[in-house]
Structure 1
């Protein structure tokens, strides 16, 4: 079978896969079936497929799973120790009399927490605290949810847990140095545009609707009789410790996250006794692993598909050589313009159909991993921020009783602008 026929069949199966995803198909099953199909269509020898598609990728992904576990644990510790709720409560007090200032503060606090926190469990735990604050100052439900989701997406450029997930596609990329300069700049761009979005939408803020909106989501903010745990103000710096340790001392994520957990426990009095320490660790670890159990299986299926795509990269190389612009600037701008193709797990979302795009682009050797990682991270983070297939966005839509079309109507244009700007930044830093 010629390479041309193979590449055509691979593209057909890829198109069917995208259709399957858009119809709401199960991603774990989809990626696993695609790994098998691409091994068969690409004429990968049986023993090679067993080793290079189903064994080695999963085994080599082990370190990344450890990063995800520790990141999820740290997110749980921030919530259960009282640090995240305390930061949120302080934000509410500061901005209570000025709705727009309060909303902006909530967005900044959200981004601050998710510099290091990660996982749907952490998002839910923080969301049930911060989203009612937004509603209580009169922000409409759909605007509150979009701003909150985009504020989570902004710091994901520097979130070491998520970075290590995408690094699986670009093993030669390095977290640190020039990447962190780009990451912080891109995060600030997204955060600034979210704040501008809130300023533009502030005319829709109606404090008189606050009580009604809170009833819709089943919340009664500030009226549940529960007091926020008191924590020392110095504990507010804990969310930034993991990134700071990498930037200042080049520490790996694992010791950085462990140190952050220990500091959080000491500052919030969770290490007063041996028994309390053990109970707190056991409960937060159990919750954290439960939060990410489904994600881990999904990533295993995804990385197997990535292995199959890598083995088939040679079939796409002539096609990519013919159609891909060899100019870093043109490619960066093109991906910014095409960024919405990352939505619905499309061909620019690396944790969707874009897994093949990433694997094939890497396999061609046309561009360096240092350039490709941020190039594909930008549209992927557009999806993480505003895609209705993203786990925490699904939760948010249900919790806030917001329609998908309203979420997309506000979120997509904002993130499209962010994506174009940040792709230009990719060229500035890595072109």
Structure 2
């Protein structure tokens, strides 16, 4: 995008908004909220599907508005030396086109056939292996993938263990009794106030703040449920809506840092550009939560 004149911040934001549009279909996210909030996966999936139109609309709106506002950026370039023409096979890589359907396989199984999340993900791995690897190289590639997966997933696994410890701690009787008055004081029961208050609190999920669902926010969610302040499905609406903001605009999240650095801008610039759009997504999620569960 940058090469064809899209401004750097807009290009980075477009990648992140695209990730956010697909976030409601992330099967590991379904499993995380199902485990953390002790809700069945179909309940989590149902709310995620309600959140998807808001995320998609925000992503499309971001592209349309930002490209129109910022225009294109032109730069001088040197004519490259004539290189040896490459074949179409080299341009496309080794994998055939139908290997690109790999992300669709788990979604079809989980959404269409209601297969459990882990078997659906494993089916996607097997499909990717069969469509990209020669039979004699399958064992080698599968082992390399397994080792690589441990490197990528080790930190999130430790984080999820810590979140589990935090959730168990805040559900202890003494913790609930201590935190209930404070949490109840800032937790409105009126649907309109519910939407207004939690919309204003959106910035608290940035910079790993207290409403970040992959940190202290998980503990607050546990208190809201354990103290009976909100039903678990309403807390699900809060957590998933805040997660849409965190996944795009938090300058400390992995994808935000990566996209900003790759584009040559700062994460804070990306945050300022994308925050109004994901804030609107969170507002939509809160409205659905208030109208459906309160």
Q: TM-score over 0.5 for the alignment?
A: yes
1:31-430 superposed matches below 5 A: 134-171=1-38, 173-176=39-42, 179-203=44-68, 204-206=70-72, 208-209=74-75, 227-229=91-93, 231-268=95-132, 270=133, 272-273=134-135, 275-311=136-172, 312-430=175-293
Contact 1:138–1:208 (CA under 8 A) maintained in structure 2:
yes
**329-338 or 308-317: which moved more?**
329-338
C-alpha distance 244-277 of structure 1, shift in aligned 2 (>3 A): same
Contact 1:154 1:190 in 2 (8 A): yes
3-state DSSP of counterpart to 1:344: coil
Per-residue Cα deviation, 1:114-142 (whole angstroms, up to 9, x for no partner): xxxxxxxxxxxxxxxxxxxx212211111
Name structure 2 gaps, 5 residues minimum.
79-83
Question: How far, CA to CA, are the matches of 2:94 and 2:227 in structure 1?
Answer: 55
How many Å separate the matches in 2 of 1:285 and 1:224?
36
CA contact (8 A) 2:24 2:48 kept: yes
Please identify, of 375-384 and 201-210, the stretch whose mean Cα deviation from structure 2 is larger. 201-210
TM-score, structure 1 as length reference = 0.60
- The 3-state SS of whatever aligns with 1:168 is helix
Shift of 1:265: 2.4
TM-score when normalising by structure 2: 0.86
Paired residues, number: 284
Using the TM superposition, give the Cα deviation of residue 323 of structure 1 relative to its aligned residue in structure 2, in angstroms. 4.0
Unaligned runs of 5+ in 1: 1-133, 213-222
CA RMSD of aligned residues (A): 2.7
| Cα distance in 2 for residues equivalent to 1:179 and 1:295 | 20
Instruction: Report the CA distance between 1:307 and its aligned residue.
Output: 2.4
CA distance in 1, matches of 2:73, 2:183: 54
Distance 1:202 1:286, change over 3 A: same
Distance 1:143 1:411 in 2: 9
Tell me the CA shift for residue 165 of structure 1. Answer: 2.1
Once the 2 structures are TM-superposed, how far is the Cα of residue 290 of structure 1 from its aligned partner?
Answer: 0.6
Superposition deviation, residue 280 in structure 1: 1.3
The corresponding residue for 2:81 is none
